[in-house]
Structure 1
Amino acid sequence: MSTETSGDFGTICLGWWRGLTDPSIGRSRADLARLKRAGGAVDALAIRAVHDLNRKLAAAGHDMRAAPDRLALIAMVLAQVKEHTGPRLAQRMGQGDPKPLSEIRFDRLIRTRDLTKPEELAELATQLRRALAVVGQGANVARLAQDLRWWTDATRARWCFDYYGASQAAPETEQMSEESEA
């Protein structure tokens, strides 16, 4: 599949998240509650909302059926977000003194590498759920979805720069280079 698509992955995930977190939609509230409790990819994939997300992504050329664990991770983590904010999650985790997320917990999160292993994927989901809790459950939903889709060395390096407040000095990485590493 071509890397050129008709819709931005993060923007599509943001739209899906807004529908999922809309309190006026009863079915969405039930799916949101189930996603918040999902213990792993299979639990998440058994929820209609996750497949709604994939249908929206597939319509824009981002079909995630070949990476169901990644799709589940994105849905489970985004379900934990209560507020769409400007700053990226790693920036929020590293702001202030003391930092909301300790360096030890950040190190553990950032060292989760091989998302092809179910235990690593579950560990990353757990670490991100905890991180979101300590920053008031606010994150840039679109950027977080993109980062989870391409959880590569380049993404994790950018998170390190963001966490330590040096994002202006971070190396410029284009999405295309992240996609080629995935």
Structure 2
Amino acid sequence: MIEDPKGLGAVALGWWRRNIEPRDNPAARALSARLRRGAPMAVLCEPRVQDLAHELSLGPSRAAELVRLAALLAELRENDPAPLPRRVGGEDPVLSQLRFQRLLRAEGEELTAQLRRAIVMADRSCNVAALASDLLRWDAARPRWCFHYFGADAPAKDIQEKTA
């Protein structure tokens, strides 16, 4: 994970654990369904999403990122140590290289759709904090995702120097 000095990934993980993870809680299941299926404005009107925005200090200028984050967190069922690109890549990838490249080039709603597909292909399990942190710093995260997809650790120093 790219350095997360503000702990945004940990904040999002805590929010996910309280609001989405408890699948035996009907309120959590209902919120998850509304976030997965809702239009962007409906997602923004959810009080729990507003709580997430407050906890992450995200304002109106980052509303699209907040909607994407909430919708994708709602897709996850399990927090796994492995980041999403490792879960879908590796020696026997469940997400083809072509689809992975398409995901990395995508923007806006297409990015959300591609990430949603990847999460489903990863059995709805990945490192929740890493995913949240990466989504909030998507341009900086994409090069590292390439390394992770192919099962390698990104040379942090080189990537930080080139993206800084």
TM bucket (normalised to shorter chain) is 0.7 to 0.9
Name the residue aligned to 2:120: 133
Higher share in helix: 2
Residue 16 of structure 2 corresponds to residue 17 of structure 1:
yes
Report the CA distance between 1:38 and its aligned residue: 2.5
Report the CA distance between 1:155 and its aligned residue: 1.1
Counterpart CA distance in 1 for 2:38 and 2:111 is 13
Name the residue aligned to 2:38: 38
Counterpart CA distance in 1 for 2:25 and 2:34 is 15
1:36-75 aligned at under 5 Å gives the runs 36-39=36-39, 41-57=40-56, 62-75=57-70
Counterpart CA distance in 2 for 1:29 and 1:82 is 10
Q: Is the 8 A contact 1:81 1:139 kept in 2?
A: yes
TM-score (norm: length of structure 2): 0.86
Counterpart CA distance in 1 for 2:82 and 2:113 is 21
Which ranges in structure 1 are unaligned for 5 or more consecutive residues? 113-119
Name the residue aligned to 2:133: 146
Name the residue aligned to 1:78: 73
SS at match of 1:43: helix
SS at match of 2:76: coil
Report the CA distance between 1:25 and its aligned residue: 4.1
Residue 160 of structure 2 corresponds to residue 165 of structure 1:
no
Partner amino acid for 2:7?
D
Q: Per-residue displacement from partner, 1:25-81 (whole Å, max 9, x unpaired)?
A: 443322111011134x32321322211211222xxxx33332111111111111101
Q: Per-residue displacement from partner, 1:154-173 (whole Å, max 9, x unpaired)?
A: 31110011101122x53434
Question: How many residues in Structure 1 have an aligned counterpart in Structure 2?
Answer: 159
Report the CA distance between 1:104 and its aligned residue: 1.2
Q: Is the 8 A contact 2:91 2:150 kept in 1?
A: no
Which ranges in structure 2 are unaligned for 5 or more consecutive residues? none
Q: Is the 8 A contact 2:58 2:66 kept in 1?
A: no
User: Identity of paired residues, percent?
Assistant: 37
Q: CA RMSD in A?
A: 2.3
